[in-house]
Amino acid sequence: MKEVIKIEGGHKLNGTVRISGSKNATVALIPASILANGPVTICGVPNISDVQALSVLLRDLGVEVVFKAEDHIIIDPTHMENKPMVQEDVSKLRASYYFMGALLGKYGRVEMKMPGGCYLGPRPIDLHLKGFEALGATVRNEHGAYVIEAKELRGTKIFLDISSVGATINIMMAAVYAKGRTVIENAAKEPEIIDVATLLNKMGAQIRGVGTNVITIDGVDNLSGCFHEIIPDRIEAATYIVLAAAAAEEMTIENIIPQHLESLLSKLHEIGIDMEVGVDHVKIRHHDGPLRATEIKTLPYPGFATDIQQPLTALMTQAEGQTVVTETIYTERFKHCHELNKMGADINVMIPSSFIKGPTPLYGAQVVATDLRCGACLVIAGLIAQGITEISEIYHIDRGYENLDGKLNALGAKIWREKKED
């Protein structure tokens, strides 16, 4: 039996939705916690399947994991053991690669299977491995697992060929216990990196320059437990903002940091969305006039996020003229376009761009969530389509969106789950 999500389109949304803690920060903060030598309490943890998967991996390492209240997690690595991470769960979860930096930093050795995750085209981890080698580690591949070890990690200068979020965080975690000073140049600037550095600094690390392209880490001898609250999820916030622009009469999205969403908010203003931005919320009102087509180019933060282009594509099927989306991060990230065309969209993909002609009415159809943000795109399309949309492979959606159906039904959508024969 497989589970599908069904959406009856055409219901206008009204009300307020509260954004959960950041998925992309959480999946790095949880592995970062094992660098401490005492319990770490994290609050604002989203209830998503990636968190459950990471807690299974922690327990396999002998780490005590306790879920308190609705969104608190206590991670106690006091009795942790550095075991090989070669179980099947590792290859299903891309964020498991953060254990590489954390275990290498703490123990000087890690053995780990290849990480997995959504397929968005090539996502090599060679930058991570080059960073570990620069710190003094050797990397070898044995039976499909990486073995990374160092007698001693030593601070050094590391230049990243691409400002990769994963590599920046992984090298930062490996370097916190290294002897001397590590400098990461061309570092990524995403808010999630700042959040991980904030956690590590609360533990006693000495990290400066996060949010700029040069991060400096002075190695320390000990990190202790601490309390940390996760930043709101800017991609979940962006998804609900786009969803409101597509399907709401009046909707408020709260618990956001508007500064993290500037590239999206300015783009929505450009296409003609009526919105009011507050200190920690944005209010979107239904707009009667036609939406204007635009050009979008994904770029590293603070540019337009690759994770937002897919949800926005659903909205742009309703704009007048031709919208061009050019993808510079994951050039194959266009599988959602094929699914939208099944619903009546008119999208032509010529990698690395998609050309969206609008406005086109959308109709309910059977579609597949090929990855997490494709799933979000199809939910938005389902809300504005005539008839019933059925989305399969919804485990991708559950990886990154907490209680999506509950939040949408509370706003007036008609969305439910059904079990179907395989």
Check: CB of residue 230 under 8 Å from CB of residue 196.
no
Q: Mark whether 118 is an active-site residue.
A: yes
Q: Could you give the strand order of the β-sheet that contains 281-285, starting from the edge strand earlier in sequence?
A: 13-18, 248-254, 281-285, 274-277
At residue 271, what is the residue type?
Answer: I
CA dihedral of residues 123, 128, 130, 131 (deg, nearest 10): 150
Residue 126 annotated as lining a ligand binding site: yes
Please say whether the beta carbons of 311 and 243 come within 8 A: yes
The residues facing 348 across adjacent strands are 355
CA-based nearest residue to 374, from 121, 120, 123: 120
Is residue 23 part of an annotated ligand binding site? Answer: yes
- Between the two ends of the chain, the Cα-to-Cα distance in Å is 5
Query: Would you say 307 is a known binding-site residue?
Result: yes
Identity of residue 309: Q
Reduced to 3 states (helix: H, G, I; strand: E, B; else coil), residue 392 is strand
181 is in an annotated binding site: no
Q: Tell me the CB-side half-sphere exposure of residue 202, using CA atoms within 13 A.
A: 19
Provide CB contacts within 8 A for 189, sequence distance 6+.
Answer: 163, 211, 212, 213, 300, 301, 302
| Residue 231 assigned as binding residue | no
Q: What is the phi/psi pair of residue 36, to 5°?
A: -75, 160
Q: Is 124 annotated as ligand-binding?
A: yes
Residue 208 annotated as binding? no
Give the Å distances, CA to CA, from 378 to 162, 197, 320, 339, 399. 30, 34, 20, 8, 15
DSSP string, 143-204: TTEEEEE-S--B--EEE-SS--HHHHHHHHHHHTTSBSEEEEES----HHHHHHHHHHHHHT
Polymer length in residues for the chain: 422
Instruction: Indicate which residue of 43, 118, 226, 377 is catalytic.
Output: 118
Torsion 67-69-72-77 (CA) sign: negative
Q: Hey, what amino acid is at 109?
A: R
Residue 346 annotated in ligand binding = no
Locate 11 and state its tokens.
């219901």
Binding residues: 23-24, 94, 123-127, 307, 329
Residues at the binding site for phosphoenolpyruvate are 23-24
Q: Which residues are annotated as part of the binding site for UDP-N-acetyl-alpha-D-glucosamine?
A: 94, 123-127, 307, 329
Give catalytic residue positions: 118
